[in-house]
Amino acid sequence: MSFKLFKKKRFNQIEEMLDVEDAGIEKDEKDMIKGIFGLGETPVKSIMVPRTDVVAISVDEPKGEVLKKVVQSGHSRIPVYEGTIDNVIGFL
């Protein structure tokens, strides 16, 4: 796997394309992409959640408990695991 670094000019071009009204991209998708660009040189450590503080849901958890955790956590995405929290199988 290889990664190609984008130059600032390329980011600006992409942002301009996102600002076009008829780009065929939903507003929430545009906002997400722009948010990624806004991260810049933000260290992962500054935005990550320590494992001990992770709110996660077992695949076997009752629906009522799942809803309660989702509402109480305030997070937009919650990992779903099977067996142990080290075996994340998706996100809710």
Tell me: the pLDDT tens digits for 56-89? 999 999 999 999 999 999 888 899 999 999 999 9
Q: What is the pLDDT of residue 1?
A: 47
Quote the number of domains for the chain: 2
In a domain, 78, yes or no: yes
CA pair distance 49, 3, nearest whole angstrom:
25
Q: Are residues 86 and 55 in the same domain?
A: yes
Q: Are residues 42 and 53 in the same domain?
A: no
Q: Give the residue, 90 or 31, on which the prediction is more confident.
A: 90
**Boundaries of domain holding 29:** 8-46
Q: Are residues 72 and 58 in the same domain?
A: yes
In a domain, 1, yes or no: no
pTM score, two decimals?
0.56
Q: Which burial class, exposed, middle or buried, applies to 47 when counting CB atoms under 10 A from its CB (0-12, 13-18, 19+)?
A: exposed
In a domain, 69, yes or no: yes
